[in-house]
Amino acid sequence: MPETDLPLLSLAEVARLLKRRTVSPVEVTRAILDQIAAFDHRLNAFLTVRGNEALAAARRAERAIRAGRYRGPLHGVPVSVKDLVQTAGIRTTCGSRILAEWVPDTDATLIRRFREAGAILIGKTHLHEFAYGPTNLNPHYGPSRNPWDPDRMTGGSSGGSGGAVATGCSYASIGTDSGGSLRIPAAFCGVVGLKPTYGRISRAGIFPLSWSQDHAGPLTRTVADAAITLQALAGFDPADPGSSRQPVPNFSRGLTAGVKGLRLGVPKEFFWDEVDPEVAGAVRKAVAVLAGLGGSVREVHWPMAAEARALSFLIMGAEAFSVHERWLKERPEDYGPDVRQRLAQGATILAADYLRAQRLRRRFIESLDAVFETCDVLLTPTVPVAAPRLEESNLRWPKETESMTAALTRFTRPFNLTGTPALSVPCGFTAGGLPVGLQIAGRAFDEATVLRVGHAYEHAARFPVRRPQES
C-alpha cells in the first residue's frame, strides 16, 4: 500500500495491516508525519510534534512485531494527546503562557498505558488555554482551525485533537472533557468523540480544570477505533482519587449487535430549544435511521436538564479558581482575557453556593437515572449549530442572543454533571459542507451500549463519507 494512503485508514484498519506485517510501524509513522507537514501549517492542530522520537519508537515497534511480540491493536500506531496531559521529558504547555516551558518529570497514567500498548506518541495537540473554553481561540498560540473550513472553529477545548484526527494526522487523540470538550470538536470536525463514565480513565497526570467534572477520552475516526482506544486506557488507578474499580468489559465484543430491542429515548424538551434547523434535521434523520434498524424510539422527559448550565457554572467556577488562585493573584496578565474573566468570576463563588450546587447535583443525577428507567440511551444533537466562524462571539436566535460558550456547551454539560458516558458521532453535513454531530448518552459504566448504538448508526449511514482536502 502506498504510504500516502495510510492516513486515510481507520485505526482498526491500520492495526490489521501492522499485525499481518503488510506495512511496518516505520512506514505508518512516516506517512503520518508527512500528513502533519501537509495539513498543520494551516490548521494549527499541534503544539509539539515529536518526529525523530516517534520514528525511533516505530523502529522499536517494528523489531518487536517481527520478533512475534505483538501487543495488540495499538502496537505501532501513531497517536496524539492533548497538551494538558503530562509527558515525561516533553513540554506540556496546557495551552498557556504560564506553563509554556514546563517539562514534566513523569508521564500521566494514560501515557504509560499507551506506551504499554505499544502506541507511538506523535505529538501534543492544541487546546483552549488551560482547557477553560469551548472555542480553541487561544491568545498565546493562535486558534486551531477547522479542517472543513479554516475560517471556522474546531470547537474546544480539545480542538487540536479533533482537527488532527479529521485530517489523518493521528489515528486517535486523547482529549479531556469537563463541559463538552471532547464532543464539541468531534461534532465540528466530523469525527467520533467519547466521554466515558467519570472514573473510567485515570486523570492522574492531567492538569485539572474541574476535578469533579473532568473526564479523559478518545477522539477517533470511527466508533470501533474509540472502543479499541478506550480498552487500552480504562481501568482503576490508585493515583486518581476519582478512579473507579468497576470491571472493564471488552468494549469491542458487542459492537456489531445492532439496536434491535434497544429503547432509544429522544428528550422532548431542552435539547431541541434554539437549534439550527439543519442540525436538528440531520439529527432527526439519524434517529429515523436507528428506528429503521429496529430500535424502539420513544419520547422521554428530562425537564431538569435545563438546570445544567447554572449548576456547572458554580461547580466548575469554584473548582477552577481553586486550581489557579495563586497564579491569578501573582500573574493575572499571563492569562488570556476570556480565561482570566472566568477565573475571576469563580473567585466570587461562596462555599455555601458551591456546596448547595453539589447537593442539587445529586438530584440532577437521580433525575437522569429516572429517565433511564424508560430507555437505554438518549439521542440528542451534540451542539446546536455547526462550526461557527472564528470571529463570532455570540449566537443569535429568534428570541435571544446567547454567548458562544453557553451555546456550545448547552447539550453536553448535563452529562458532565452526571458523569455518565456520552458519544458524538458524525450524522451528516450542512448545505455549506460542515459536519453535524449526533450525541448518544447512556447509563453509568455502560459505554458498551453507547458504542453499540453509535456503531450501528455509523455503518447504516456510512458516515463519515467525506474527508477534508489538503490545500
* 471, pLDDT greater than 60: no
- Can you tell me the distance from the alpha carbon of 456 to that of 260, in angstroms, rounded to the nearest whole number? 10
End-to-end CA distance of the chain: 23
What's the rounded mean pLDDT across residues 323-348?
98
Task: Give the model's pLDDT for residue 468.
Answer: 74
Q: Which of 144, 157, 173, 312 is catalytic?
A: 157
- Phi, psi (degrees; rounded to nearest 5) at 237: -140, 115
* 464, pLDDT greater than 60: no
* 4, pLDDT greater than 80: no
Is residue 399 part of the annotated active site? The answer reads no
- Can you tell me the distance from the alpha carbon of 42 to that of 156, in angstroms, rounded to the nearest whole number? 18
Average pLDDT across the chain, whole number: 96
Task: Give the model's pLDDT for residue 469.
Answer: 64
Is residue 181 part of the annotated active site? The answer reads yes
* 5, pLDDT greater than 60: yes
- Can you tell me the distance from the alpha carbon of 206 to that of 113, in angstroms, rounded to the nearest whole number? 14
Nearest residue to 218 via CA among 341, 114, 325, 68: 114
Per-residue burial over 178-216, b if 16 or more Cβ lie within 10 Å, else e, is bbbbbbbbbbbbbbbbbbbbbbbbbbbbbbbbbbbbbbb
Domain ranges for the chain: 3-461
Provide the percentage of residues in the chain whose pLDDT is more than 90. 96
Show the cell assigned to 129.
488555554
Residues 6+ apart with CB under 8 A from 344: 328
- Phi, psi (degrees; rounded to nearest 5) at 289: -60, -45
* 352, pLDDT greater than 80: yes
Is residue 195 part of the annotated active site? The answer reads no
Q: Quick one: which H or E segment has residue 173? A: strand 172-177
* 155, pLDDT greater than 70: yes
Q: Which of 82, 144, 161, 202 is catalytic?
A: 82
* 237, pLDDT greater than 70: yes
Confidence of residue 351 (pLDDT cuts 50, 70, 90): very high
Q: Which of 10, 24, 178, 181 is catalytic?
A: 181
Bridge-based pairing of strands 296-300 and 394-396 is: unpaired
- Can you tell me the distance from the alpha carbon of 304 to that of 292, in angstroms, rounded to the nearest whole number? 30
Task: Give the model's pLDDT for residue 470.
Answer: 52
Show the cell assigned to 368.
437522569
Q: CATH topology for 3-461? A: Amidase signature (AS) enzymes (3.90.1300)
Confidence of residue 465 (pLDDT cuts 50, 70, 90): very low
